[in-house]
Structure 1
Amino acid sequence: MPSFELLPGAAESPVILHVPHSAREIPAEVRAGIVLDDAALERELDHIVDAHTAELAEEAARLAGVAPWRFVNRLSRLVVDPERFPDGREEMLAVGMGAVYTKTTHREDLRPVDADPGPLVARYFRPYAQSMTEAVAQRLAVTGRAVVIDVHSYPSAPLPYELHGEGPRPPVCLGTDSFHTPPELLAAAREAFGEVGLDSPFSGTYVPLEFYGRDPRVSALMVEIRRDTYMREPGGPAGPGLHRLAQSLATLVNALHRLLAEHSS
């Protein structure tokens, strides 16, 4: 199994649906460095995985008038979390959740505190970041724009690892960035999803560092979906809410193509 996949969309589409946290797969050599027993690891995966978000993005891509591209992580975020900074500026280091986690969602030991993250960062994190950078650069080269829509989910009740879990938990939380989330992108997402909140309980967007804060042609939005709206928590099957959300995500993708077409005309 590849660590990640770039699944092609329409050549003219600038949209990349980024799905970083949907997988449960952990290679055996990585599992050997995790201190949880098998049952405890499965429980942790139930809590930490953004279950069914890869299927959500896949269905939305099928429904969209112009198919977006999809960049999908095929390994668990317990291998590496591709959305963390791999250095000391990552605020989630405070709860043992930098690029390589040492703590669980309940702040229990996942790896030894003194475990060296370097080999996992080199083997998994950096190739992922490079490939995502290349995917965005390709969209810029072909279409002149790139729009990264991060597809996530989050639990209906706060977990102990959350640094900002005391705020509102709307059905859909939109994470924004002051540089990379233009007003028209936010407005299109509000229209597509209906009942939304902003930047609570999670905030920010994912943009490859080469473009972050530098290139306004790269737009980004994080879509965090509360899990009880589409699945049984924790880690259970999806329900009919998944199809409704896929339709909403496809509506957002279609709106973005219309907006970009208007701007280029």
Structure 2
Amino acid sequence: MKTSIIIPANNEEAWMGYCLDALFKSQRVEEAEVIVVANGCEDRTVEVASKYEVLAAELGWGLKIIDLERGDKLHALNVGERAAEGNILIYLDADVRVSERVIFQITRVLDKEEPAWASGQLQMAAASGVSKAYARFWMKTPFMSNSVPGSGLFAVNRAGRARWGKFPEIISDDMYVRLHFTGRERIAVPSSYVWPVAEGWANLIKVRRRQNRGVAQLEELYPELMKNEDKGDFSKLRILGYALGDPFGFIAYAGVSLIVRLTQDQSGDEWKRGR
């Protein structure tokens, strides 16, 4: 059972090494290939990834590096899939660090004939006080605590991948894929991965606004998928309890949410995560 790990990367010079270091320290996967799809990069992303070719060969991993002029994550995913030979497809953001066993565990649970989706236990990383507080409260929301979000890392087997065509031009690729599977078809493995949170008020607002736009876009374009959403409700009583237990976390999370709701987006279409 061969596994293909597809990593779209746009100007990820600062993160590419951390991502690949962690990936190549993973517990041995029998047959695996890593496909780095650099798209529209104006930095040393390709050069950094190329430095891992020798290590990949020594470990028995395949490593393909595709350099595209066009900066488009969805296009990069489509190109990466065309190059993928695996029966299991793992989609990994270039700023994510996997734990030693998460890739191995995902390959095990997806080695089946029935369509399935899988991810690990998400851990958020933040440096600034406001981002730490925001992340702390966010992890308590129903979407994060009741479901398996797959933000930055998700995987499907080939039977699951057959449920949609090429990736459309959408904002939220991870949510789009996740909603093609019912709660029973989504598997959470016990090992974790680290996903960085945007740093500071301005970047949190920018990212939250984009997340909201992504959800609204899917609701408009693919309403039939929303039946598979399983995040549950965030009752006022539950919010109050969390707010009393973590007032600064509540202020950070509620403040970002309120600003996004009451203000218009002045940033245009440019997208940067704001780390």
Q: Please give the TM-score of this superposition, normalised by the length of structure 1.
A: 0.28
Decide which structure has the larger Cα Rg and report it: 2
| Greater RCO structure (CA 8 Å; 6+ sep) | 1
Relative to its length, the structure with more helix (as a share) is 2
More strand by share: 2
